[in-house]
């Protein structure tokens, strides 16, 4: 099972890009995003790209951009250089057998390997995961300035542009009543023109969540994402079974094992599928399969990745037959710099998925060279 093709180099880039506005979460406020990009070069002249971007340094999870780069460069890259790139699943099995944890780093590597192999085969990456069933995905926009009037104006602007008609509000920094008042005002302003959802990013207690859920349901909000701490599966089960408003698990899903625990306990109505959080494309596909088997609805989540991680997610999500709650793949629109030669296409409230080989995107390596942190 070997060919003459070899992996010549695995390079990790940290690319710092300012955001168009402060992005306020309960765990951090982002004024820039650090894209963690992996470039796999092979002896047949192909380049595969992957991304392992996270949020807020170590505020969100146990991996930071800097740790992802160090661990790839020190431990994973030496395992891959000189190997045959034609068998990405076999290579990732070896990586997983030797490297514990490091879900974001592994996702970046796996994506780059599959992008490289899909290009070699002349196929879109989606076709390596069962084949796509759609060429575009509905995309939500997150309102996270924290200012009610600004959020309303922002929502109305993107509605007029026909870019988004689904809005998710980041909450958790105010009191429960203050959060609900903020959300309710935005829902009143938008009315039936848009779906409004909220993400508390684990900020509430179970008691606060029960109070907040009732008020949010009365305000016309469609869904609440991860209202309580990720490790409280019993609390999540209690909130879900209260049947007040649909509950989405996000940070509670660190791959297929967590998905099985949450599904077995009937502790969510919706799964947020994230390729980085799941440890890669294959892990995310397994999380989705567990959700589908348990009659849990699916939503395509984001770690606010740039174009590489966004399109990797889109390629995988396009293979899901049921994606009842749409996606949140707006990450590139939050950034002030474009890293592609041709930007991703957002129109008619959706992201279009190219049919070109691999990820179907063309990175501007000259622009990356100017933006990367070590230059």
Mean pLDDT of 215-234: 96
- Could you give phi then psi for residue 270, rounded to 5 degrees? -140, 140
In the predicted model, is pLDDT for residue 2 greater than 60?
Answer: no
In the predicted model, is pLDDT for residue 282 greater than 80?
Answer: yes
In the predicted model, is pLDDT for residue 249 greater than 80?
Answer: yes
What is the rounded CA–CA span in Å between residue 309 and residue 107?
9
- Residue with the bigger pLDDT between 194 and 60: it is 194
Of the candidate ranges 64-78, 170-184, 297-311, the one whose mean pLDDT is the lowest: 170-184
Mean pLDDT of 316-327: 97
Structure tokens at 336: 């002030």
Structure tokens at 117: 């192999």
What is the rounded CA–CA span in Å between residue 53 and residue 37?
8
Please give the pLDDT value at position 122: 98
Strands (E), the chain: 7-24, 29-42, 47-51, 136-138, 141-143, 166-170, 195-199, 224-225, 247-249, 270-273, 297-300, 346-347, 350-352
Average pLDDT, the chain: 95
In the predicted model, is pLDDT for residue 333 greater than 70?
Answer: yes
Please give the pLDDT value at position 27: 65
Q: pLDDT for 353-369, tens place per residue?
A: 999 999 999 999 999 99
Please give the pLDDT value at position 173: 85
The total of other beta-carbon atoms located within 10 Å of residue 355's CB is 12
* Beta carbons within 8 Å of 194's beta carbon, 6+ residues apart: 155, 159, 164, 165, 166, 167
Angstrom CA distances, 338 to 158, 191, 320, 363, 367, stand at 19, 33, 28, 9, 8
User: Band of the pLDDT at 346, cuts 50, 70, 90?
Assistant: very high
Mean pLDDT of 46-60: 90
List % helix, strand, coil for the chain (3-state, nearest 5).
40, 20, 40
- Partners of 137 in the beta sheet? 351
Q: Are 57 and 367 in contact (CB under 8 A)?
A: no
What is the rounded CA–CA span in Å between residue 228 and residue 208?
9
- Domain 7-122+364-371 is in which class? alpha beta
Q: pLDDT for 61-114, tens place per residue?
A: 889 999 999 999 999 999 999 999 999 999 999 999 999 999 999 999 999 999
Please give the pLDDT value at position 57: 78
- On the CB side of 43, CA atoms within 13 Å amount to 12
Q: Are 353 and 314 in contact (CB under 8 A)?
A: yes
Active-site amino acid positions: 170
Q: pLDDT for 7-45, tens place per residue?
A: 999 999 999 999 988 777 666 777 889 999 999 999 999
Q: Are 18 and 336 in contact (CB under 8 A)?
A: yes
In the predicted model, is pLDDT for residue 370 greater than 60?
Answer: yes
Domain ranges of the chain: 7-122+364-371, 128-352
Of the candidate ranges 68-82, 162-176, 235-249, 266-280, the one whose mean pLDDT is the lowest: 162-176
Please give the pLDDT value at position 6: 98
Exposure string for 300-323, b = 16+ CB within 10 A, e = fewer: bbbbbbbbbbbbbbbbbbbbbeeb
The total of other beta-carbon atoms located within 10 Å of residue 144's CB is 21
What is the rounded CA–CA span in Å between residue 351 and residue 329?
8
Query: 260-266 long-range CB contacts below 8 Å, 24 or more apart?
Result: 260/290, 261/233, 262/233, 262/236, 263/290, 263/291, 263/293, 263/294, 263/296, 264/294, 265/233, 265/234, 265/236, 265/237, 266/237, 266/240, 266/241, 266/294
Please give the pLDDT value at position 237: 97
53 closest CA partner among 271, 318, 334 = 334
Please state, for a pLDDT cut of 90, what percent of the chain lies above it.
90
Question: How many residues does the structure list for the chain?
Answer: 375
* CATH of span 128-352: 3.20.20.120
């Amino acid at each position: 099972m070997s060919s003459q093709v070899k992996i010549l180099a695995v390079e990790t880039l940290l690319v710092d890009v300012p955001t168009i506005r402060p992005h306020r979460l309960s765990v951090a406020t982002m004024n820039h995003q650090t894209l963690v990009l992996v470039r796999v070069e092979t002896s047949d002249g192909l380049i595969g790209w992957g991304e392992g971007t996270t949020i807020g340094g170590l505020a969100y999870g146990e991996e930071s951009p800097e740790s992802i780069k160090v661990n790839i460069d020190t431990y994973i890259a030496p395992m891959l250089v000189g190997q045959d790139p034609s068998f990405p699943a076999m290579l990732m099995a070896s990586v997983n057998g030797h490297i514990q944890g490091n879900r974001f780093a592994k996702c970046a590597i796996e994506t780059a390997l599959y992008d490289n192999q899909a290009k070699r085969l002349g196929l879109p990456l989606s076709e390596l995961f069962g084949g796509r069933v759609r060429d575009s995905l509905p995309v939500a926009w997150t309102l996270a300035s924290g200012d009610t009037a600004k959020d309303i104006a922002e929502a109305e602007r993107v509605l007029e542009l026909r870019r988004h008609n689904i809005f998710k509000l980041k909450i958790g920094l105010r009191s429960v009543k203050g959060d609900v008042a903020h959300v309710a005002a935005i829902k009143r302003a938008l009315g039936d023109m848009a779906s409004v959802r909220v993400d508390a990013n684990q900020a509430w207690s179970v008691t606060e969540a029960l109070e907040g859920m009732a008020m949010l349901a009365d305000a016309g909000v469609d869904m609440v994402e991860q209202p309580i701490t990720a490790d409280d599966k019993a609390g999540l089960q209690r909130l879900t079974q209260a049947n007040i408003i649909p509950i989405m698990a996000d940070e509670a899903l660190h791959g297929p094992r967590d998905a099985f625990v949450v599904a077995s306990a009937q502790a969510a109505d919706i799964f947020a599928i994230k390729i980085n959080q799941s440890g890669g494309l294959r892990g995310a596909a397994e999380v989705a399969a567990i959700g589908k088997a348990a009659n849990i609805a699916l939503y395509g989540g984001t770690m606010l990745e740039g174009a590489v991680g966004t399109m990797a997610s889109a390629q995988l999500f396009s293979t899901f037959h049921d994606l009842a709650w749409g996606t949140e793949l707006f990450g590139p629109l939050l950034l002030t710099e474009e890293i592609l030669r041709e930007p991703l296409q957002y129109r008619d409230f959706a992201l279009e998925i190219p049919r070109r080989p691999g990820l179907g995107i063309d990175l501007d390596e000259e622009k990356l060279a100017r933006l990367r942190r070590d230059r």
